[in-house]
Amino acid sequence: DWTPDSFIESTIANLKEKLGDDKVVLGLSGGVDSSVAAVLLHHAIGKNLHCIFVDNGLLRKDEYQSVLDSYQHMGLNIKGVDAKSRFYDALAGISDPEKKRKAIGRVFIEVFDDEAHQVTDVKWLGQGTIYPDVIESVSVKGPSATIKSHHNVGGLPDFMKLKVVEPLNTLFKDEVRRVGKALGIDPNILGRHPFPGPGLAIRILGDVTPEKVQILQEADAIYINNLRSYGVYDKVWQAGAIFLPVQSVGVMGDERTYENVICLRAVESLDGMTADWCHLPYDLLAKISNDIINNVKGINRVVYDISSKPPATIEWE
């Protein structure tokens, strides 16, 4: 019978035998899958697991530091890499969603390849691939697609020539969560909403600037913290704020304002393939709207997205 404990025990034993004294490099994303994969590998090979966590400047507010802290707390051998300006430079002036994804994917590969080269004699690439990824239900927009499109251009980056170790590739998402819980991983990491690899870049319509990212981070943090304190965060499948680069007129004191719009998105879903918009309580929406408009400079209007998927998508880009 499958239990998290029996899975953990046999997986660690198998990893020990397979990897011996070899070194493994693994990219952490802050998400559930890569975190659980990393902790299993850590149990098997300890410091020979070299984790890399890249700050692409497109994460939620304070996310980089808090996730890095909790990984360090778990004892992982992890290196944080501040690559914000490399990503912002690559994104400058790009408005097309797919071009943004490509630019982010390319820079990620470059940064990761640089870091992987710093680990001498590394033999393996660890990945948090889960069973649904294996059977190719993978979103065409996912990171693997970005990596594939990169192949055709300039040949394989060196880290992709490594042997691959994927300790979760027989598990479904709920099993990964149960394994994570049994491993004692921070519930904040296990319970977090899905977050796209390209991050806030695809929640800023049009071109991305550090200033827009900062505004969106503030608004998004207010939104998510309110969902938590109202007790609905865990009932929502995914939520986030979107920065709309349109200006509308408002009034503040005696002054006329002409500023940008924040859209709130919250959906219920099983797998992201279809989704319904969440009927969040009006008093909660009212509080979020007030908090954002009163506290985030550059925003004078908040709207709520009442579109379901299909025909809309969850993300706006």
Q: How many CB atoms lie within 10 A of CB 238?
A: 19
CB of 309 to ligand XMP, least distance (A): 5
34 annotated among ligand-binding-site residues: yes
Distances (CA, A) of 186 to 32, 78, 160, 161: 10, 16, 30, 32
DSSP state of 223: H
Helices 84-91 + 97-117 axis angle, to 10: 150
Quickly count: other Cβ atoms within 10 Å of residue 232's Cβ.
16
**Closer Cβ to ligand XMP, 34 or 48, answer by number:** 34
Phi, psi of 27 (to 5 degrees): -90, 120
Q: How far is residue 104's CA from residue 113's CA, in Å, rounded to a whole number?
A: 14
- 251 carries a ligand binding annotation: no
Closer to ligand XMP by Cβ: residue 3 or 137 = 137
- Binding residue per annotation — 85? no
Distance CA 231, CA 283 (A): 13
- Closest approach, Cβ 107 to ligand XMP, in A, equals 14
The least CB distance from residue 119 to ligand XMP, in Å, is 25
* Minimum CB–partner distance for residue 317 and ligand XMP (Å): 8
Nearer to ligand XMP, 4 or 194 (CB): 194
Q: Which residue matches tokens 């209007």?
A: 301
Query: Residue 184, class by beta-carbon neighbours within 10 Å (0-12 exposed, 13-18 middle, 19+ buried)?
Result: exposed
70 labelled binding-site residue: no
Task: Identify which of residues 127 and 300 has a Cβ nearer to ligand XMP in the complex.
Answer: 127
Query: Is residue 113 marked as binding?
Result: no
User: Measured between alpha carbons, how far is 169 from 134 in angstroms, rounded to an integer?
Assistant: 7
Q: Which CB, 18 or 193, lies closer to ligand XMP?
A: 193
Q: Tell me how far, at minimum, the Cβ of 196 lies from ligand XMP, in Å.
A: 3
Write out the residues near ligand XMP by the rule CB under 6 A: 101, 139, 141-143, 194, 196-198, 238, 272, 309, 313-315
62 among the known binding-site residues? no
The reply to whether 142 sits in an annotated binding site is no
- Cα–Cα distance, 126 to 147 (Å, whole number): 15
Q: Binding site for ATP: which residues? A: 29-35
Q: Binding site: which residues? A: 29-35
